[in-house]
Structure formats: structure tokens, C-alpha cells
Structure 1
């Protein structure tokens, strides 16, 4: 997988984490827009949990950790005078976090469709 990414993304840990954070942000903006637009009709998209709670959880556990991970993986080793994390660690961690955001949104969508 690391070979498939542009070399500029692999030069520093914050680049990949910030990119995934921005993509997650855009995805959440689209989901939130769809939720607000659906309120014009009889049904909402996010009935599984209150929309305010879904928004708060996705911001707190979805977007902010990606940006903080990128910042900490980049600035933390400099401040502490230690070696930076391996590329595999800073590829895997933000990737799993972004996968969690997509999974959460899929769970909300499947819950609306009556899958559970």
C-alpha cells in the first residue's frame, strides 16, 4: 500500500492524517447536508441516534483525532527528542481512524434502512 501513495504524502506523518481528516470532514459535511435536506420531507436519514449526538460523536471521535494524530506524530517526536514513528504506524493509524468514520456513517445509514 505505501507504494501506491504519492511520495509527498509519506514525507511527514501529518500530511496523510490531515488529508484523511479533510476527506472525512467533507464526507461528514455531505452526510449532514443530506440529513438537513431530508428534514424537508417526512423522514430523516439519521433516526438511529439523535442527529445532534451523531454530529457530536462524529466530530469528537472522527475528525479531531485525525488532525491531532497528524500533529502529534509530527511535533511529538521533535519536542521529545525521539525518533519519529515508522511509516507503517502513521499509515495504519489514520487509515483505521478514517475507516471508523466511514463505518459509523454506514451504520447510521443501515440503521435507517432497518437492518437492525
Structure 2
């Protein structure tokens, strides 16, 4: 089960039922044949091309899954992505890490003045 940033679980536990004691997937599967017949009916007999297309897409998604989305991350001319860290970035990073460590240790850090108070 997924957890919120607070560490508490989110949503229903796996295998639980709804308020009426019904497993939603089981209930949905009981209507799957009728739903598929309706999609085929809409795809083949609707006079609205948008409805025909939407029904066809739903049928294809169920038969073959949604198409994969390929994402290519490359730098200039297809090479690797270049990262540049400036001294200002390094200083801000060091200050942030120092603050995190200090807070974990129970200290109060004034990041503007770079002074640690106890």
C-alpha cells in the first residue's frame, strides 16, 4: 500500500471490500461481457465518428494495452546530457545539508548568517 509523506497508509488495504462488502473488481468483471458488447456496438453503429473512435481506442487498449511512450533524453547532437555545477550551487547545497544535519541533531541554524545556535 502506498504511503503518504507522513508515513500513514493511503487508500484501502489490498483485498478489502467497499462499504457494502463488495469487491469492486469482482463486480466490474460480472459486467465485462456486456460492456465489451456495448463498446463494439458503439464502434460499429454509432453515427458520431468521435464515439466510434473512442470505442475503438478502448477496445484496442483492452486487447493490446495502451501504447508505450518512448522518451529519449539526450544532450546536444544526441550525446549525453551535460550538467554544470557552479560554486554557488555547491555552497547552497552544502548549507542546506548542514541545516538538515543540524536540525536532526536538535540545533537551530540561521542559514542566512551561517551561525549555529544551541
Which one has more relative contact order, counting CA pairs under 8 Å at least 6 apart?
Answer: 1
Larger radius of gyration: 2
Tell me the TM-score range normalised by the shorter chain.
Answer: under 0.3
TM-score, normalising length from structure 2? 0.27
TM-score, normalising length from structure 1? 0.28
